[in-house]
Structure 1
Amino acid sequence: MELYFLGTGAGMPSKERNVTSIILNLLAERNTYWMFDCGEGTQHQVLRSPVRVSKLEKVFITHLHGDHLYGLPGLLSSRSYQGGETPLTVYGPKGTEQFVRTAMEISQSHLIYEIIVHEFDAKEETILLEDEQFQVSIAPLVHRIESYGYRIAEKPQKGRLQVERLKELGITSGPLFGKLKQGLDVSLEDGTLLKAEQYIGPAYPGRVVTILGDTQPCENSGKLARGANVLVHESTFAEQKKQLAVKYDHSTAMDAARTAKEAGVETLILTHISSRYQKEDADLLVQEAQQIHQDTYLARDHWSFQVPRRKGK
C-alpha cells in the first residue's frame, strides 16, 4: 500500500505543483489503483508517473470544486485508449454524476468500459463501501461547498506461514504449504497431524489511511483520522495567513498538525499547498506543523509514501 501524489497544489496549477490528485497504490493488495480527486491536468501527471490508468478501479471525489474535479472527463476518456476495459466506479457528492454524464455526452466520448457513479449525501460518519479487504468510510467536513473526508481501513491480515519451521520437519511440499496457509490441518504419510494454527504467525492489524478534502478544523476530521497510520490533510496556508484560512474554509499546517496529534495519527502528510509557497517557502509549512506533530511530511508532485504495516501482537 503506497500513496503517490500526482498533484499537491491548491486552487490552480503552478510551475511547481499541479492541482490535487492522489493515488492509493493497491497493486500488491488487489492489483488496482484507487484515485482520490482528479484536478485539471491529472492525466498529464499520470504520463510522468508509474501509474497505469488501465488498472484504475475507483475514483473518489472529495468535493466539486474545479481543482479537485476538472481533470476527470479527460482521464475517463483516455482510459479507453489505454486498455481500460474493466468497470470503473466514481464516488462523490451530489452533482458528481451530472458532471460526468454531461461531459461524456456533450463531447460524444466513446468508452469501452462501464462507468458506475455512486453519489452520497452523508450527515455523519458513514460506511461507503466494504468488501473482504477494505472498509471505506466518509464524513462531511466544513468547507464552502459540500466536502468530505475518506477513511480507508484495511481488514486485519492473516499471519504468515512459518515456512522455516516446516522445512526443519522435512516438509517442502507446496500443496501442503497452501493448505496450512488456508488454515487447514494436514495429516502426513506417517500419521503426524500438523495443526495449521501452530504454524501460522500472529495476525497483522490492518492499515488505516485518511484522506481529507478541503476543510476548516472540525470534529469529523478527527473522527476519520482516529488512530490512522497516515493522515493526508490540506495545508493551504501558513499560520500567519490564519485569517485567510478561516475566510475561505481552509486549514493551516498547524491546524492539520493539531488534528493529527489529537487523533493519535502516526504520520501526517501536508498537501493542497497555496501557490504563494514556492520551493523553499513551502518548507515553512512543515516546520510549523512539526512543532506540534513531529512525524510530518510535505507532499510534492510525484512523491510517494509507503504505508508501513503495523506489527502483530
Structure 2
Amino acid sequence: MELYFLGTGAGMPSKERNVTSLVLNLMAERNAIWMFDCGEATQHQVLRAPVRIGKLERLFVTHLHGDHLYGLPGLLTSRSYQGGDTPFTLHGPVGLKRFIHTALEVSQAHLAYPLEIEEFEPDFEGVVFEDEQFRVTTAPLVHRIDSHGYRIEEKPQKGRLQAERLKELGIASGPLYGKIKRGEDVVLEDGTVLRAADFVGPSIRGRTVTILGDTQPCPGSLMLSRGADVLVHEATFMENRKELAVKYDHSTAADAAKTAREAGAGVLILTHISSRYQGEETERLLAEAKAIHGNTLLAYDHFRFELAAPGRGGGGA
C-alpha cells in the first residue's frame, strides 16, 4: 500500500506544484489503484508517475472545486484510449454526476468501460464502499462548498499459518493447510481433531489512511482521523495568514498538526499548499506543523509514502 502524490498545490497550478490529486496504490493488495481528487492536468502528471490509468478502479472526489475536479473528463477518456475496459466507479458529492455527464455529452466522448457514479448528500456520514478487504467511510467537513473527507480502513488479515507445527505432526503441505488457514477444523484419518485456532496466529491489524478535502478544523476531520496510521491534511496557509484560512475555509499547517495530535494519528502529511510558499518558505510551513506534531511530512509532486504492514514501519521518498 502506497500513497503517491500527483499534485499538491492549492487553487491553481504553479511551477513547483500541480493542483490536487492523490493515488492510493493497492496493486499488492488487490491489483488496483484508487485515486482521490483529480485536478486539472492530472493525466499529465500520470505520464511521469508509476501509475497505470487502466488499473484505476475507484476515484473519490472530496468536493467540486475546480482544482480537485477539472482533470476528470480527460482522465476518463484517456482510460478508454489506453485500453481500460474494466468497470470504474466515481464517488463524490451531489453534482458530480451532472458535471461528468455534461462534459461527456458536450464533447461526444464515448467510454469503452462501464462507468458508475455514486453520489452522496452534503450531510452524509457513513460507508461509501465496503468489501472483504476494505471499508471506506466519509463525513462532511467545513468549507465554502460541500466538502468531505475519507477514511480508508484495511480489514484485519488472518494470522500466519504455523506450518512448522503441522509438519512436526507429520502432516505434509496440502489441502489440509488451506482448510486450517481458512479457520476450518480438520479431522484426520485416525480421528484426531486439529483445531484451526491452535495452528493460526493472531489476526494482523489492518492499516488506516485518512484523506481530507479542503476544510477548517472541525469535528468531521477529527472523527475521520482518529487513530489513523496516516493523515493527509491540507495546509494551505501558515499561522501568520490565519485570517485568510478562516476567510476561505481552509486550514493552516498548525491547524492540521493540532488535528493530528488530538486524533492520535501516526504520520501527518501536509498537502494543498498555497503557491505563495516556495523554496525555503515551505520548510517554515513544515516546521510550524512539526512543532506541534513531530511526525509530520510535507508532500510535493511525485512524493510517495509506503504504508508497510503493521510493525514494519513506512517511509517517504
CA distance in 2, matches of 1:268, 1:164: 40
Contact map agreement 1:122 1:138 (CA 8 A) in 2:
no
SS in 1 for 2:38: coil
Deviations 1:211-247 (A, max 9, x none): 1000111111101111111110000111111111111
Alignment of 1:129-144 (within 5 A): 129-144=129-144
* CA pair 169-286 structure 1, distance change in 2 beyond 3 A: farther
CA distance in 1, matches of 2:64, 2:198: 52
CA distance in 1, matches of 2:24, 2:265: 18
Deviations 1:102-159 (A, max 9, x none): 1111111121101111111142532222222222111111111111111111222211
Match of 2:314 in 1: none
CA distance in 2, matches of 1:58, 1:86: 11
SS in 2 for 1:258: helix
Match of 1:229 in 2: 229
SS in 2 for 1:25: strand
Contact map agreement 2:94 2:122 (CA 8 A) in 1:
no
Determine what percentage of the aligned residue pairs are the same residue.
Answer: 68
CA distance in 2, matches of 1:162, 1:91: 40
Match of 1:110 in 2: 110
Contact map agreement 1:16 1:279 (CA 8 A) in 2:
no
Q: Does 1:210 align with 2:210?
A: yes
CA distance in 1, matches of 2:74, 2:193: 58
SS in 1 for 2:86: coil
Deviates more, 1:190-199 or 1:277-286: 190-199
CA distance in 2, matches of 1:117, 1:59: 10
In the superposition, the TM-score normalised over structure 1's length comes to 0.95
CA RMSD, aligned part only? 1.7
Match of 2:14 in 1: 14
Amino acid at match of 2:44: H
CA distance in 2, matches of 1:125, 1:94: 14
Alignment of 1:276-291 (within 5 A): 276-291=276-291
SS in 1 for 2:277: coil
SS in 1 for 2:105: helix
SS in 1 for 2:282: helix
Q: Does 1:262 align with 2:262?
A: yes
Q: Does 1:23 align with 2:10?
A: no
Contact map agreement 2:18 2:301 (CA 8 A) in 1:
yes
Contact map agreement 1:161 1:199 (CA 8 A) in 2:
yes
- Gaps in structure 1 of 5+ consecutive residues: none
Deviation at 1:68, TM superposition (A): 0.3
Deviation at 1:170, TM superposition (A): 4.4
* CA pair 177-243 structure 1, distance change in 2 beyond 3 A: same
Contact map agreement 1:5 1:23 (CA 8 A) in 2:
yes
Deviation at 1:71, TM superposition (A): 0.4
Match of 2:63 in 1: 63
* CA pair 11-185 structure 1, distance change in 2 beyond 3 A: same
In the superposition, the TM-score normalised over structure 2's length comes to 0.94
CA distance in 2, matches of 1:23, 1:114: 21
CA distance in 2, matches of 1:289, 1:125: 28
Q: Does 1:199 align with 2:199?
A: yes
Deviation at 1:67, TM superposition (A): 0.5
SS in 1 for 2:150: strand
Match of 1:250 in 2: 250
Amino acid at match of 1:265: A
Amino acid at match of 1:255: D
- Gaps in structure 2 of 5+ consecutive residues: 312-317
* CA pair 179-94 structure 1, distance change in 2 beyond 3 A: same
Deviations 1:72-94 (A, max 9, x none): 00000000111211111111111
Deviation at 1:191, TM superposition (A): 5.0
Amino acid at match of 1:282: T
Deviations 1:20-40 (A, max 9, x none): 001111112221111100001
Q: Does 1:173 align with 2:176?
A: no
Match of 2:50 in 1: 50
CA distance in 1, matches of 2:174, 2:211: 40
Match of 2:96 in 1: 96
SS in 2 for 1:306: strand
